[in-house]
Amino acid sequence: LTQVHQLLQKLEHLACHTEKPSEPISEHQLLHAISHNEITPFYQPKVSRATNKVESIEVLARIITPQGTVFLPDRFICVAEHLDLINLITFQLFEKATNDFIDIKKNLGYNLKLAFNLSPCQLEDLSCPDKLALILKLNNLKPSEIILEITEQHALCSSAQLETLNRLRIRGFDISLDDFGVGFTNINQLKTLPFTEVKIDRTLISHIETDQFSQVIVSSLVNIATQGDLTIVAEGIERVEELEYLDRFKEHILMQGFLICRPKGKIELTRWAKSWLH
């Protein structure tokens, strides 16, 4: 019994130890990262298997220290939201990514879109559409080249958030409903909200080739997409079986996931996109 007890203690110790890497960073660390320009955009493509093109690239925030340590968003986005620093991070990323985007577009030689993640709390700010449009203008980009990805949450019901979404749409931004399937929006609501894209969450995509529930949801979404002006993205594709199943919808669905391409820095992403065509 003591041996079992000791073993349990050891396991507990191990569990604590492995959890450490995902602890949120401190306010001090975050401020340091922002002021030292360490917020860095990584990019993950959304591709069409029908046209063989990269239709858009999603910006994923990283903190990269001079020592080369990489912090993932789950360690700092919630901290930034809490401390009201999320706008600062978004605008720093926006600035860097729009610059990169101009080079990537030139390099690939065809038009594609750039997708940003916005925190739902940022939609509370009614001037957010004006601010984003101004940065774009300074960088010679049009709102129609930008997709704003917003995670569906219960909070999306606030009237300020809906108003901001509508204003963004009127300005010409594309708006994407992120993580569809794990939140609160259902398929019927999709028609009343100003979304131009829906991203099906990885939990529905994982093992879709054998999961009838997910199959029904995905084919209903594809049905809606073919009727209206809605882009469907399958996110988190990790297995060949998933990609092969989804290929039956390839005229209507964009593919994204580690199987196709992991998030990468600008140069690597460009290299990947050029070789992927062949």
Residues engaged in binding Ca ion (CB under 5 A): 117, 149, 178-179
Find which of Ca ion, ligand C2E, none residue 100 binds, CB within 5 to 8 Å per kind.
Answer: none
CA distance 267 to 197: 27
Please tell me whether residue 137 adopts helix, strand or coil conformation. Answer: helix
Residues 6+ apart with CB under 8 A from 145: 101, 111, 113, 114
* CB of 13 or CB of 262, closer to ligand C2E: 262
CA distance 34 to 36: 5
Find which of ligand C2E, Ca ion, none residue 197 binds, CB within 5 to 8 Å per kind.
Answer: none
- Tell the smallest beta-carbon distance from residue 37 to ligand C2E (Å): 15
3-state helix vs strand vs coil in the chain, percent to 5: 50, 20, 30
* CB of 127 or CB of 223, closer to ligand C2E: 127
Interaction of residue 24 with ligand C2E, rule CB under 6 A? no
Find which of Ca ion, ligand C2E, none residue 93 binds, CB within 5 to 8 Å per kind.
Answer: ligand C2E
Find which of ligand C2E, Ca ion, none residue 143 binds, CB within 5 to 8 Å per kind.
Answer: none
* CB of 129 or CB of 236, closer to Ca ion: 236
* CB of 44 or CB of 106, closer to ligand C2E: 44
Which DSSP state fits 141?
-
Tokens standing for residue 248: 């039956």
Q: Can you tell me which of 179, 233, 243, 245 binds ligand C2E, judged by CB under 6 A? A: 179
Contact 39, 93 (CB under 8 A): yes
CA distance 134 to 116: 16
Site string (51-80) toward ligand C2E, x via CB under 6 A = ---------xx----------xxx--x---
121-160: contacts with ligand C2E (CB under 6 A): 149, 151
Q: Characterize 145-171 residue by residue with b for buried, 16 or more Cβ atoms within 10 angstroms of its Cβ, and e for exposed.
A: bbbbbbbbbeebeeeebeebbebbbeb
Q: Can you tell me which of 117, 161, 164, 231 binds ligand C2E, judged by CB under 6 A? A: 117
Residue indicated by tokens 């959890």: 19
Where along the sequence are the contacts to ligand C2E (CB under 6 A)?
A: 44, 60-61, 72-74, 77, 90, 93, 117-119, 149, 151, 178-179, 202, 236-238, 257-258, 263
